Amino acid sequence: MSIQNNYTLITGASKGIGKELAFKCAKEKMNLILVARTEDKLKELKGKLEKKYNIKVEYYPIDLTKSSVGEEIYDWCIKKGLMVNMLINNAGIGLFGEFEKLNLDNQLRVIDLNIKTIVSLTHYFLPMIKNRNKGYILNVSSVAGLYPLGYASVYSATKSFVSLFTEALQYELKDSSVIVSCLYPGDTDTNFFDDANTKADLAMKPDIVAKIAIDKLLSGKTKIFPKYIKLVSKIPKSILKHTISKLLKKDLNIK
């Protein structure tokens, strides 16, 4: 679906689901803008994707928790003449533990990345995306955002914001050429749980999550649940099963 000067911008692209989203988009012949904090990983990924898929790849290393992140990345794209028709807000972090015992600055950083960064990037790039022939926004939430999650109170609350923000945008853009979708991963085999000071049991492979996400996004699906999803380990399953079954009985196979 690549058009000469259309680019897909992916945040958190250097590892985990973000990296696999980059590979899946490259396979679909999309030009890419990769955004993450670690420049050497982005540079290495750029080389691999360009060589294997013969696409154009740009990268921008930045701390995505910066307050000016949306404006900074947008201005850089404009200066380089890069037109974004797909925005994938993937970057996110979480912390697990008792709220009062977790470091406050770290919890505020979760809010900055999981909420402020998505709002900022979407605000700056939405007009550009609307002006393309066909546009897409994919926000990565979590099944943890479907229910208040004890011992991950800030994380689950931020992911709930992502879900509601996405649904609101879907309504506002329902008559436009922009598809707005939300991805709800469960436990996924990445280093997320190491960063969050917890551990997943059985988890989905990130390449499978990425494939399902992009295939369904391109087909116009607005709520994307990987099939046979592994529930987030810390949520009481009896509660989560009841919550999700009411919402999405046809989209989710819960065992």
- Report the catalytic residues: 155
E strands, the chain, where? 6-11, 31-36, 57-61, 83-89, 135-140, 178-183, 223-224
Q: Distance between CA atoms of 10 and 185, rounded to whole angstroms?
A: 17
Around 156, how many Cα atoms within 13 Å sit in the side-chain half-sphere? Answer: 19
Gyration radius of the chain over CA positions: 17
Distance, in Å, from the CA atom of 249 to the CA atom of 144, rounded to the nearest integer, reads 17
Note whether 34 and 56 are within 8 A (CB).
no
For 89, 182, 191, 230, the CA distances from 125, given in Å and listed in that order, are 11, 17, 29, 33
For residue 107, the one-letter residue type is Q
- Going from the C-alpha of 15 to that of each of 10, 35, 191, the distances in angstroms are 11, 11, 8
